[in-house]
């Protein structure tokens, strides 16, 4: 067993950590139920979500956002394409690019997965001022790794 660092447990914010665990568990539970009926998992959810939010993104862009390997993405993407939720097309300027688009069914699936999550967020933010809502968004943004090219807004034109 490797040597573990010595940590003063008085510096640990256990309450916030536990709240994040429970919030995540509940946040994903609604879409998980829908995905289970399709025999899909959370990886399918993430792909459908980001492709629906950014139609025309490249496979390379999606890999950057999800921070997964091509091999991990390939299986999930193939299932979504074969099931008619995602279309893959060559890029107009560079035929080596693979651009991803949701089909109508894919867009409907993405919305069906996001809707209960949006309701949950709405309930949690009910009665909050605009400033409090902004503070929640800043907190969540601050919890993310510093940008290493994986930002959802970063959409490249590079072929993969």
Task: For residue range 43-62, list pLDDT tens digits in order.
Answer: 999 999 999 999 999 999 99
Rounded CA-CA distance 157/96 in Å is: 11
pLDDT at residue 157 is higher than 80: no
Residue of higher predicted confidence among 155 and 64: 64
Residues 137-142, mean pLDDT to the nearest whole number: 95
Q: Is residue 53 part of a domain?
A: yes
Q: Is residue 88 part of a domain?
A: yes
Q: Is residue 94 part of a domain?
A: yes
Residue 69: DSSP 8-state: -
pLDDT score recorded for residue 147: 62
Contact 140, 41 (CB under 8 A): no
Q: Is residue 130 part of a domain?
A: no
Q: Is residue 86 part of a domain?
A: yes
Q: Say which CATH number the domain at 31 has.
A: 1.10.10.10
User: Domain range for residue 18?
Assistant: 14-123
Sign of the C-alpha dihedral, residues 86, 54, 100, 24?
Answer: negative
Rounded CA-CA distance 137/147 in Å is: 16
Q: Is residue 72 part of a domain?
A: yes
Rounded CA-CA distance 98/105 in Å is: 20
pLDDT at residue 95 is higher than 90: no
Q: Is residue 132 part of a domain?
A: no
Residue positions counted in the chain: 160
Residues 76-84, mean pLDDT to the nearest whole number: 97
pLDDT at residue 155 is higher than 50: no
Rounded CA-CA distance 59/64 in Å is: 9
Domain count of the fold of the chain = 1
Q: What is the dihedral of CA 128, 131, 136, 142, to 10 degrees?
A: 180
pLDDT at residue 154 is higher than 50: no
Rounded CA-CA distance 89/142 in Å is: 35
Residues 75-81, mean pLDDT to the nearest whole number: 97
Q: Is residue 143 part of a domain?
A: no
């Amino acid at each position: 067993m490797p040597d573990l660092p010595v940590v003063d447990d008085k510096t640990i914010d256990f309450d916030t950590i536990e709240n994040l665990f429970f919030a995540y568990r509940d946040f994903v539970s609604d879409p998980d139920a829908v995905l289970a009926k399709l025999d899909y998992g959370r990886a399918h959810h993430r792909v459908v979500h980001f492709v629906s939010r950014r139609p025309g993104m490249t496979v390379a862009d999606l890999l950057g956002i999800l921070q997964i390997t091509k091999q991990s993405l390939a299986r999930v993407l193939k299932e979504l394409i074969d099931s008619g939720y995602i279309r893959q097309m060559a890029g107009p300027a560079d035929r080596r690019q693979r651009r991803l688009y949701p089909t109508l069914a894919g867009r409907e699936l993405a919305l069906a997965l996001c809707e209960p999550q949006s309701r949950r967020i709405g309930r949690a933010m009910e009665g909050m001022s605009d400033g409090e809502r902004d503070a929640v968004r800043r907190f969540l943004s601050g919890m993310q790794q510093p940008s290493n090219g994986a930002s959802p807004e970063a959409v490249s034109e590079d072929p993969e």
